[in-house]
Amino acid sequence: MYRILTFIFFLFSPLFLLGQTPGQRTLIFLERADMMHGANKDQIAYLRNPTFRHDNARLFCDSAVFYKERNYFEAFGNVHINQADTLNIYSDLLNYDGNKKLAHLEKNVRMVDKNNSTLTTNVLDYNMATRIGTYVNGGKIVTKDVTITSKRGWYFANTRDAFFRYDVLVTNPESTIKSDTLRYNTLSNWAYFYGPTNIKNKKNENLYTENGVYNTKTENAVFGKNNLYTTGSKSLKGDSLFYDGKRGYGKAVKNIVFKDTVDDFTLKGNLGEYFRDIEKILVTKNPYVAMVSDDSVMVDNKKIADTLWLGADTLESQMVLQKTLKLLAKPVIKKDNEVGSEDEKAKQEREKEKAEARKALTATGNKERNATTIAPKSKNRKDAKSLDDKPGTVVPISADTTIKQKLTDTLSKHAPPAIKDTANTKAIKIDKELKADSSKKLQDKKTGNTQQALTKAVVKDSLVSPADTIRTRVIKAYHNVKVFKHNLQAKADSLFFAAADSTLRWYKNPILWTDSTQQTGDTINVFLKNKKIHSFQIIENGFIANQQSDTSKFNQIKGKLITGFFNDGQMRDLYVDGNAESIYFTKNNKGDIDNLNQTVSSRIRFKFKDKKINQITMVKEIDGAVNPADKLPKESFLTGFTWKPELRPANKDEIIKGKPKKTVKNQPPTKPAVKDSKPKTVNSKSIDSIPLTAKPKTIVKDIEIKKPVN
């Protein structure tokens, strides 16, 4: 039998080797088989444990049916294809066409390359010439770095590229990718996206794109269409997005938008950088911020929220520990027309509570001492309880009651009205604040430990302030800072904003405009409360100029510290402290200016009504003069006066797009180089017939007076 098989093998071998010249089809070569039988008429051979060779590939199986004329065979059981010693394919069934060099594999298909990247599926078509494997009924590729599943897939063995379509899922220890269309290189670990894609990692970050690349090993990403990065309440998008996942660094280019839904914060621009670990965003090209306020403005007879628009050459926003900031307290009006702060007011209220608590504690101690002599002795605790139930009876505190409990019970019974409703919590707080006074009076006779030691322990445990862990948003703006809000506009070189105290701080040549009033100084702070303008303070060299309507005359105020308070978006009160000076004009019933008032005082208070000064109150060291209309000087300015309306932002478009360039209109036509038979027309009218505009009214601007005019 063995001789017969050997004879048949050598008989067919020359036929298998025919046609192997370049450019022509190659024949399948049967290297060996344990058993072979068939019909020579049909040239069909039935083989057991055969080994085939075709070009640079060898094919093995348990059994096969070989069709010599068709250059085709069917393989069954433990099918194995080895191509160029770099690729191995396994399955239960195989149909192989030697003419087309196509292998159709079914059941438990597994393709493994030399880097141990494994493709598994139930049905696979593999082209031996192009070395491309295709599946259409679901498959999975597993490498040392990732696992990829999809409904359809194409694997390119030459380039180690894999192309996936529909329900693509890429998983690795660091991230999960869901995509519609994806290409992945198992050698370089780069993934290429051609459809909606989400990348989510263990840091709670999600990257979305519809066109881009991502490296599953280095976590670098470059996105180019509908890109969005999100982490928690924060998001960043732009026309182009670059992200380094390991460093937590991102860069967005053109039409970028950074949002924080918790802070209701939006930052836009055309070039931005994001630093994940320090929660910082930096925008350096056309940046601006939109901060929604609760102030309302009428637009088309409808009330809408008035947004504060902030722009600069560079904008930076970051989440920082609140304890690292020097927060500002909002100014408040104290008695005698003095300006204080909310911190001072709160401190006074706390001192008042302490004094009342001390008084109650002292009264309680006196009653207890009297009770030790007045109260009848009780034989047991039941009697003591009954005595306590009787109105007007004072029961002495038993010796075994803890000192802390004594103080708490005492304060809860004798607390003043302000703390009576929450006696348990307030009493402990007061216990801490009064530890120095109460420790000497209260002492545990059994243990000898003083109340002072107990109180110190309690206070020590409560020293952890919320500010030690609370993070808050800050905004920094550098160079050409501009702000537009319907009831406030501003310009400065730099700005700082902290959400913790809701205060805008302007530095270096700041100018603030409200209605027809301009404020300048070394530093200007604007305080917001409940998303509304609450007040402002001008610190050092404060100067306020208020233009009289339809005139070139100005009401002027200057001082070391100027504080203004707002009500419903309009200035209500203005306080000037420290070398306060003012010039203001009064009008008669006809609306004509009749007097010029000049005042000097330690403190001046101005009350506004309908955007005009309504009342003036001068406090301490008052000096002044009144000049009638016929003796008014031509120019009346205080030292340091300046008026620059051309710098005032006119609308939000100036914040977003910048101030428009000035264009010259209605200029006389230049003489044409060549005479035309007909004059040039604009809107069907001769340009010569268009009248020039009337001469504009004279307005004062860019005036700086170094010396006062007498």
Q: Which residues is 50 bridged to in the sheet?
A: none
Q: What is the pLDDT of residue 349?
A: 64
What span, in angstroms and rounded, lies between the C-alpha atoms of 386 and 383?
5
Q: Which residues is 156 bridged to in the sheet?
A: 132, 161
Q: What is the pLDDT of residue 609?
A: 81
Q: What is the pLDDT of residue 629?
A: 62
What's the chain's average pLDDT? 76
Confirm if 239 and 248 have CB atoms less than 8 A apart.
Answer: no
Confirm if 103 and 95 have CB atoms less than 8 A apart.
Answer: yes
Of residues 257, 261, 260, 215, the one with CA closest to residue 239: 257
**3-state class of 705 per DSSP?**
coil
Worst-scoring range by mean pLDDT, 102-111, 410-419, 625-634?
A: 410-419
Task: Report residue 103 as tokens.
Answer: 């292998």
Of residues 199, 128, 501, 451, the one with CA closest to residue 327: 501
Confirm if 205 and 231 have CB atoms less than 8 A apart.
Answer: yes
Q: What is the pLDDT of residues 590-634, one digit of tens each?
A: 777 778 888 888 888 888 887 777 788 877 667 766 767 666 666
Q: How confident is the model at residue 4 (pLDDT cuts 50, 70, 90)?
A: very low
- Angle at the Cα of 663 from the Cα atoms of 657 and 668, rounded to 5 degrees: 170
What span, in angstroms and rounded, lies between the C-alpha atoms of 218 and 52?
43
Q: What is the pLDDT of residues 177-231, one digit of tens each?
A: 999 999 999 889 999 999 999 999 888 889 999 999 999 989 999 999 999 999 8
Q: How confident is the model at residue 455 (pLDDT cuts 50, 70, 90)?
A: very low
Helix axis angle, 451-461 relative to 403-414, nearest 10°?
A: 80
What span, in angstroms and rounded, lies between the C-alpha atoms of 77 and 229?
50
What span, in angstroms and rounded, lies between the C-alpha atoms of 98 and 55?
10
Measure CA 122 to chain center.
47
Task: Report residue 231 as tokens.
Answer: 């982490």
Confirm if 166 and 152 have CB atoms less than 8 A apart.
Answer: yes
Q: What is the pLDDT of residues 472-485, one digit of tens each?
A: 999 999 999 999 98
What span, in angstroms and rounded, lies between the C-alpha atoms of 55 and 58?
8
Q: What is the pLDDT of residues 567-600, one digit of tens each?
A: 877 888 888 888 888 888 887 777 777 788 888 8
Q: What is the pLDDT of residues 667-695, one digit of tens each?
A: 555 544 444 444 333 333 332 332 333 33
Burial category of 415 from C-beta neighbours within 10 Å (exposed 0-12, middle 13-18, buried 19 and up): buried
Does this model's pTM top 0.85?
Answer: no
Q: How confident is the model at residue 48 (pLDDT cuts 50, 70, 90)?
A: very high
Task: Report residue 25 as tokens.
Answer: 């089809």
End-to-end CA gap in the chain: 135
What span, in angstroms and rounded, lies between the C-alpha atoms of 571 and 190?
60
* Amino acid, single-letter form, for residue 89: I
Of the chain, the percentage scoring pLDDT greater than 70 comes to: 70
Of residues 113, 289, 249, the one with CA closest to residue 187: 113
Give the pairing of strands 681-682 and 685-686: antiparallel
Burial category of 529 from C-beta neighbours within 10 Å (exposed 0-12, middle 13-18, buried 19 and up): middle
Q: Which residue has the tokens 């050698």?
A: 187
Asked if the model's pLDDT at residue 471 lies above 80, the reply is yes
